[in-house]
Structure 1
């Protein structure tokens, strides 16, 4: 423990000598006496120069008395703790001593037991404050080290709509030093690689991570031309850009900037990417809507082809259209219910959609295009899980001819309900036996491969299904997520190894698939309620 330092101040040399010699200060209290002062002014100057932990001072001294020294040190933000010696006749001074944050006082004649007791308390308090200060500094350093991750998490939460209070959001924006100014409009953009699965399928995981890092660098370099913009990663194939537009919505300049980003990715990485841009919003709390609009705009690259910049205002003009946030949510739910073969839910969702499409300001061509997109997106989604789905759907030309032959909303709705009823019923029939086999296969892969790196993507590759689909299927059939099941298997095996072997926690961690022993211990404690070593010793102890 680091030695504390102290200055003794008294105008009588004999008393100073006595105070210095009365205790073995280093041995008994861990205090080193680094100076003496014969008057208040000298005591003040020594404290300002040497910054001792403690000033042990008489109240009555020349030039400045002890309380005046304490007041001046307090005004100068000197952290030195003050302990005063006072005669009984100066008790009024003692009361004032408390007002200047003196740590304690000792009445003359001095009693050694009282001095010992007071210094024991004061030194303990100083060490406690020092430990707290060191802990706070350590926490601040950790906070600074994790600032980039915290900033990215905040931005992810922002576009997810987790914050509703506008002032709270701006407080966070200022804390993370984001280049936005309150009052300026904002816009979100989303970049995705075109044909993502085909583009990265041949790459190792290390190369994929390098690829994502490179894409982020290209985006950041291009955004330097727009100083009021930030970028971050939302997922493996979703790079988000938030633009602040202090001079208004310069859509043309943003489109040009996005084109540069796309060209850079094509030039350096030989890959195509497209960018969707949402509408301008006046409040930062509305950036979620702009983000979802950008996602909706990206869906239209099906029509425009690869390497496109898609601005939502160009796709959905200000004439009456479906709210993009509604369609985005509806589309995601429809695909999930369809893949699960939930026919009643599919038909109920279609009823909801057509209730929106029945608004008189919507033109029939727009309504028909919405229906066409739903059909072909569903076909692509279902083809990923069952190549025989084409047996239920007619060829594209026939579907388009039939769809556009429906000249009113009632006929169009009836056609869509019949088509999606057939699709969902077919998937439900297939799912009954297929789901059971898929679930058992997934469980077997996990039970046999828990000791190696095991991701949902890798499991999906082994069962020839998409990650999203097996996640949905596993949760629906078992009531738990694949990640939770992997953790459960690993924790069960860890318990066996803890009880049946003398392996170290680090070795057990590696054997059950965790490279980081600390993370393994954290997961184990969260799952079982106790640390691995406590689990081992606790089970060995008779109850």
Structure 2
């Protein structure tokens, strides 16, 4: 409910204003009255009304002087003047003290009604505005960590010109990063992010993020000064402020402590890249870029380690150039389905690549992608079906890039090639068996003829050389041996029937010379056709 205070040196006017109007109908309660501005001022400060109805002219302190004193005291009470004087000068004075309105005596109730409604609308609008400002202030306070993170992210990635505006933003965000100091950047990257973080709920990820930042900030503040923020999922940046270059000696012990504590408290394996110490905040981007590149050296050096510029100085510095003819050689080996040679070729490629630990990381990644593409083409061209969800053709590229070291990528690529190699061998085996089946079918159907290997090869659409080679390779016997065994088996069946003469049997199974038939039969059975018949009958 709104509060009203009435000030007038005429008792009749004060009483009339209180009793002739139903203030409750407006949501207003009269909380006090006074016959002079001086007395009213003390009571108004105590009661804190929303509206003051005051006469303009009174003995000790008039309404305009009262209004001025209230404004000097930063009171936002709404003032409406009442006067029996139609005086333009007084009207102007009233407007100067930001009075809401001015009513002449005798008071017209309809006019007063309009003024009161006007005052209430103004109060309502101001309340709404205050409410909105308070809500925005609360939201701003809640958003402060995010705003600070955004600012720091921009600082290390893009840099910021040190200016008056920059100083204001720093003060607003509560950051203490003087322009003319020394700075160093740590970039912390969670190892095996796909395993360690991506499988967690968003709540758990946020808890881990807050914990990492808290641990880092506490350790930094115990040694130096600085801030930690999350640059992207699983990657954090520590900004270290050094007052003098002598503080550099504190950096390595600090980064070791950060790495150890994150593992101790959160069981997180972390690789940390340490940047170069730079003078002036405007050069902090350089330190960040060095730290970020050092973290990426995890590809060659392995995970769960601290990588500094010093640790890279002793590495192979010559430029690595891959011989892409090795990929074609690998394709030929893969097509032959020689698993051992495939494994050796991949080992040789990665052993050479791993020697150049200062090499171009993107270049090495492209080589890995080329190798996967090579095997993938064979899968497509040969219509192979690899029953391993790790090697799903739509996801294999993403899977490869989740591996953070060359060793992990080598093992993944090697497994992929071995799987493709196995599918090729299986398909080749099925194809060979199908060829053997067709060759045997031709022989089984045409053994009665004077058929040759050339005739068989023509019917199965193979060269005689390849036919003989694959038949021997798959069955362990020659085509002629199989043809002879089929004929001898049939001859044994016919010899069991006395109505068949030996010469008839000879012609029936595809031989043209009975003497040759007898020699072949005895060679395979140890008995002549006659002896075999006599024995069996």
TM class by shorter-chain length? 0.5 to 0.7
Match of 2:290 among 293, 301, 305: 293
Q: Is the 8 A contact 2:220 2:240 kept in 1?
A: no
2:130 aligned partner: 133
Q: In structure 2, what is the Cα distance between the partners aligned to 1:394 and 1:75?
A: 86
Establish whether residue 26 from structure 1 lines up as the match of residue 24 from structure 2. yes
1:120 aligned partner: 117
Aligned length: 375
Match of 1:466 among 398, 405, 421: 398
Establish whether residue 427 from structure 1 lines up as the match of residue 427 from structure 2. no
How high is the TM-score relative to the length of structure 1?
A: 0.59
| 1:267-278 mapped onto 2 (5 Å cutoff) | 267-278=264-275
- The structure-2 alpha-carbon separation of the partners of 1:261 and 1:211, relative to structure 1 and needing over 3 Å to count, comes to same
CA drift of 1:246 comes to: 2.1
1:106 aligned partner: 103
Q: In structure 2, what is the Cα distance between the partners aligned to 1:152 and 1:467?
A: 30
RMSD between aligned alpha carbons? Answer: 4.4
How high is the TM-score relative to the length of structure 2?
A: 0.59
2:215 aligned partner: 218
Local SS of the residue matching 1:146: helix
2:424 aligned partner: none
Deviations 1:423-475 (A, max 9, x none): 759838947997xx9xxxxxxxxxxxxxxxxxxxx9x99945537969xxxxx
1:247 aligned partner: 244
1:75 aligned partner: 72
Local SS of the residue matching 1:250: helix
1:90 aligned partner: 87
Match of 1:145 among 123, 127, 142: 142
CA drift of 1:307 comes to: 4.0
Match of 2:349 among 362, 381, 395: 395
1:508 aligned partner: none
CA drift of 1:154 comes to: 3.0
Instruction: Could you tell me which runs of 5 or more consecutive residues in structure 1 were left unpaired when the two chains were aligned.
Output: 318-363, 373-386, 405-411, 438-457, 471-543
CA drift of 1:207 comes to: 5.9
Establish whether residue 61 from structure 1 lines up as the match of residue 58 from structure 2. yes
Q: Is the 8 A contact 2:3 2:31 kept in 1?
A: yes
Q: In structure 2, what is the Cα distance between the partners aligned to 1:77 and 1:180?
A: 37
Q: In structure 2, what is the Cα distance between the partners aligned to 1:140 and 1:426?
A: 54
Deviations 1:285-306 (A, max 9, x none): 4433322211112233455554
CA drift of 1:193 comes to: 3.0
1:361 aligned partner: none
CA drift of 1:129 comes to: 0.5
Match of 2:3 among 5, 25, 49: 5
Q: Is the 8 A contact 2:300 2:354 kept in 1?
A: no
Q: In structure 1, what is the Cα distance between the partners aligned to 2:101 and 2:77?
A: 13
1:338 aligned partner: none
2:186 aligned partner: 189
Q: Is the 8 A contact 1:86 1:94 kept in 2?
A: no
Deviations 1:140-171 (A, max 9, x none): 11222232233223333333328567544433
Deviations 1:308-362 (A, max 9, x none): 3333466469xxxxxxxxxxxxxxxxxxxxxxxxxxxxxxxxxxxxxxxxxxxxx
Q: In structure 2, what is the Cα distance between the partners aligned to 1:432 and 1:44?
A: 94
Q: In structure 1, what is the Cα distance between the partners aligned to 2:343 and 2:148?
A: 44
CA drift of 1:62 comes to: 1.7
Match of 1:14 among 12, 15, 27: 12
Greater Cα shift, 45-54 or 389-398 = 389-398
Instruction: Could you tell me which runs of 5 or more consecutive residues in structure 2 were left unpaired when the two chains were aligned.
Output: 323-338, 384-389, 403-537
CA drift of 1:14 comes to: 0.8
1:539 aligned partner: none
Q: In structure 1, what is the Cα distance between the partners aligned to 2:378 and 2:90?
A: 89
Establish whether residue 366 from structure 1 lines up as the match of residue 366 from structure 2. no
Q: In structure 2, what is the Cα distance between the partners aligned to 1:205 and 1:57?
A: 61
Larger radius of gyration: 2
Q: Is the 8 A contact 1:169 1:285 kept in 2?
A: no
1:447 aligned partner: none
- The structure-2 alpha-carbon separation of the partners of 1:371 and 1:270, relative to structure 1 and needing over 3 Å to count, comes to farther
Local SS of the residue matching 1:172: helix
CA drift of 1:40 comes to: 1.0
